[in-house]
Chain A
């Protein structure tokens, strides 16, 4: 079954065609690399899959929902990490992960597990996010994503700001989530790294998909 099924999708942003005929099919449980130059439309593709961008033309189904007409209906099943981390900076790392855990009814054990996976020690998780480094904040954002147990993960440059150990940890988390049934779409410039764990690749050039 295809989790994402896009055909000739057109999305404009401020009158500019950010996606100019994108087509893609992504199977359940796959890890998919989205590659392309800056401005090729990688982030727009992820935001469109997440139901955040209005689709002007084409057909688009995500998790069985027609996102061309019902954009909001699919969002609660998606976990997204964009360029910004989406954290409450004046709360602690643990507060942030607990907030998202409450959204899905996850237990205290799930929170501890998510923090542990991203190597957020007791000391780090008790620190206000505003006092953490960029890499540590990224790890908190990833822990917040892990605890949500979304069906479809959309990650925009998830490795940026992470040290080598954290990158390896993240790859392990993605592979494990994929084996558990989650589908993961990763937009990245770090193509060599992601290619080692991805089953397929979508290449974007000027808003168009050129191969998969």
Chain B
């Protein structure tokens, strides 16, 4: 097997991860119900329309981040429980392709999750959208989800090869994704129009989220191969 290109490896890995999800239906049967439950519990805990509407954007993104840990852990468990990640390394697969492929698959799964959670937050927390705010919200979801995916796979790889991976992953990831959660929550707040926020105020946050996503994509591409090798 003479070395195959990064993009081909990325496609293979993304296809494999999506197939794993398709066969197991863990996102649909476990992660989505868990995230929905978190949203409903928040609604009960913050009983009161004003408070709920003000907190709605942050709650949706916190539910996403909490659910993301389940998706990442599972993604790497599939690769490590019988030594498949080692086998990929032995076979000389380009680890940058593995990183991109896993990020792409995680992005797709988190996107589905986010769409459902945003829809649920609109419903549960009595928020309405205009065309302008819907466009902003779409851009927020895409850029923030990309950032979360690139960070999640990088640290997921690190945690997967360590002892106590389940507890280590949130400890590693939460501080790093704090800027994404803050940016996404503020931009979503602008889209929801809560606390007097205007749609135009959300776009600088989208820019920040995009910069964050690109920065972590580059950092991941550079560091993931040596991380797995060591």
Contact = CB atoms under 8 A, between A and B. Distances in A.
Same complex origin of A and B: yes
Q: Is the contact region of chain B dominated by helix, strand, or loop, or is it mixed?
A: helix
Nearest to A85: B82
B19 interface: yes
Contact of A148 (B23, B89, B91): B91
B84 A75 contact: no
Interface in A42-100: 50, 52, 72, 74-80, 82, 84-92, 95, 99-100
A86 B83 contact: yes
Interface string B83-105: 11011011111000000000000
A104 interface: yes
Q: Is the contact region of chain A dominated by helix, strand, or loop, or is it mixed?
A: mixed
A68 to B, nearest CB: 16
B2 interface: yes
B1 A103 contact: yes
Contacts, number: 76
Interface in B182-209: none
B20 interface: yes
A76 B23 CA distance: 29
Interface string B112-154: 0000000000000000000000000000000000000000000
B82 A88 contact: yes
B83 A103 contact: no
Contact of B20 (A77, A85, A90, A104): A90
B90 A84 contact: no
Nearest to A73: B92
Given A85-B82, A87-B82, A75 B91 contact: yes
A111 interface: no
B90 to A, nearest CB: 5
B87 A104 contact: no
Give the size category of A's interface with B. Answer: 20 to 34
Given A85-B83, A87-B84, A90-B78, A76 B2 contact: yes
Nearest to A99: B16
B24 interface: yes
A86 B86 contact: yes
Nearest to A137: B82
A82 B16 CA distance: 22
Nearest to A106: B1
Given A89-B78, A91-B20, A80 B83 contact: no
Given A86-B83, A95-B19, A103 B4 contact: yes
B79 A78 contact: no
A108 to B, nearest CB: 16
Given A88-B78, A150-B1, A76 B92 contact: yes
Contacts of B221: none
B47 interface: no
Contacts of A99: 12, 16
